[in-house]
Amino acid sequence: MLQQAKIDEFKSRFRGEVVAPGDAGYDAARKVYNAMIDRSPGLIARCADVADVIEAVRFGRESDVLVAVRGGGHNGGGLGVCDGGLVIDLSRLNGVRVDPAARTARVEGGCTWGDVDHATHAFGMATPGGMISTTGVGGLTLGGGIGYLTRKYGLTIDNVLEADMVLADGRFVTVGPQQNEDLYWAIRGGGGNFGIVTSFLFRLHPVDTVNAGPMFWPMEQATEVMQFYREFIVNAPEELNGFFAFMTVPPVPIFPEELHMKQVCGIVWCHTGTASQLEEAFKPVRKFRPPIFEFVGAMPHPVLQSMFDGLLPPGLQWYWKADFFNTLSDRAITAHAEHGARMPTPLSTMHLYPINGAAHRVGSADTAFSYRDADFAEVIGGIDPDPANKDRIIGWARAYWEATHPFGAGGAYVNFVMDEGQETVRASYRGNYSRLAAIKATYDPTNFFKVNQNIQPASARSAGA
């Protein structure tokens, strides 16, 4: 329980900002990106530095309350906030230091991808990250990290060289290939289960201007486009990435008026080579069938990374369902085409991300992220600004998922699901779950960090907790 005397004592040791119910900024501070999540923490501690994180962990433990850790606050299931208890908010830890000679970036645990791309682009470099610039580096990285650079440079976790962490007992450790190797393995896919990452050290790559953007085809051609895509993208040069999407064309000037509000299927491309290399790679695309809209061209990498920010501001209702796919069978494609054409609201969508190429060169047991053999990560997003449409978007996403799940690989990317519970978590880690549970038992035996896709400590699990 949070006691006022303890809160006062905590405040005297804490440099950042402490926000409590009744304070002027409380309502804004408790909000997360998904407006479907409405939780009221007992206290929000906005850390100013690593010392604050250590203090906040100690305070949470001594007070014996539920503790949530917030990075960018983008998690679909709202795992960056809790009801009652303490939120340890990292958003002020947003510094990035690029070492151009070593080609690395030290990124603090509360950064967004916009912070990282801005800082690294100045040096003509990047690391694989998320596709919306407001998404948090912390949650995205710890779950795996799928982005435009994944086929060429791997998942985000494949580029984590080292991380600084505060553990459940308040200890500060650095994890990497030569120190605390078990934790280094676990945080590359195992989420926020093992501690609070106060900074990551990322490997950078020479990515500056990219040739990128969307191509659309009519919704009625979804089956043919998906059949083409499933073969093409797994064999394309790794410089080329493209995710498949169902979407409704927004009524904005960049799109021709006759397409406004039309449901389409499309591919959003990103090529890290030259325009002529892209055209070479595109030869099969050009032969396939002409798109009804194309906006592929040269742009700075951060422009691509924030291209869809305006479409998806904070405060929308989101409901997520997900699966990995080893391949896309014709029957799966039939189900996709049927449910894609039933999108209930203009922002609702389904994305299929390729996770082959460099991501496949890491073994299933080399990091906690198990599905290295899957070719695609699917996310179905029921999205709308109006809370009155909540049931419609949930109903559509569930029905879509029920229809395609039987063709899936068994688990789902943990960052693309709501808070679905143990069955989904175990299916998503498969053979890695028991090792993760053993590491959890070593570093967090009381399950202090439990507001996440939770891995239960091995002993508690065997005791039936």
Ligand X SMILES: Cc1cc2nc3c(=O)[nH]c(=O)nc-3n(C[C@H](O)[C@H](O)[C@H](O)COP(=O)(O)OP(=O)(O)OC[C@H]3O[C@@H](n4cnc5c(N)ncnc54)[C@H](O)[C@@H]3O)c2cc1C
List of residues contacting ligand X (CB under 6 A): 32-33, 69-76, 79-80, 90, 109, 130-132, 135-136, 138-140, 142-143, 145-147, 191-192, 196-197, 312, 415, 451-452
CB 135 to ligand X: min, Å: 5
Nearer to ligand X, 243 or 396 (CB): 243
Tell me the CA distances in angstroms from 182 to 186, 190, 288, 343, 366, one per residue in order.
Answer: 6, 11, 47, 43, 11
Nearer to ligand X, 335 or 359 (CB): 359
Nearer to ligand X, 335 or 449 (CB): 449
Report yes or no: 183 and 439 within 8 Å, Cβ to Cβ.
Answer: yes
Tell me the C-alpha distance between 227 and 116, whole Å: 35
CB 262 to ligand X: min, Å: 22
Nearer to ligand X, 307 or 451 (CB): 451
Tell me the C-alpha distance between 200 and 184, whole Å: 11
Nearer to ligand X, 45 or 197 (CB): 197
Structure tokens at 164: 């600084």
Tell me the C-alpha distance between 89 and 108, whole Å: 13
CB 145 to ligand X: min, Å: 5
CB 200 to ligand X: min, Å: 8
Report yes or no: 80 and 91 within 8 Å, Cβ to Cβ.
Answer: no
CB 453 to ligand X: min, Å: 7
CB 221 to ligand X: min, Å: 25
CB 53 to ligand X: min, Å: 9
Tell me the C-alpha distance between 111 and 134, whole Å: 9
Sheet containing strand 67-70, edge to edge, reads 17-19, 43-46, 86-89, 67-70
Structure tokens at 319: 């409901």
Tell me the C-alpha distance between 446 and 79, whole Å: 18
CB 144 to ligand X: min, Å: 6
Nearer to ligand X, 197 or 335 (CB): 197
Any idea what DSSP says for residue 422?
H
CB 302 to ligand X: min, Å: 14
Structure tokens at 200: 């990551």
Q: Which phi and psi angles does 24 have, rounded to 5°?
A: -55, -45
Nearer to ligand X, 98 or 132 (CB): 132
Nearer to ligand X, 301 or 335 (CB): 301
Tell me the C-alpha distance between 433 and 455, whole Å: 8
SS3 215: strand
Report yes or no: 211 and 218 within 8 Å, Cβ to Cβ.
Answer: no
Nearer to ligand X, 366 or 419 (CB): 419
Closest alpha carbon to 205 in 124, 326, 92, 296 = 124
CB 223 to ligand X: min, Å: 26
Nearer to ligand X, 203 or 218 (CB): 203
Instruction: Encode 348-395 in three state secondary structure.
Output: CEEEEEECCHHHHHCCCCCCCCCCCCCCEEEEEEEEECCHHHHHHHHH
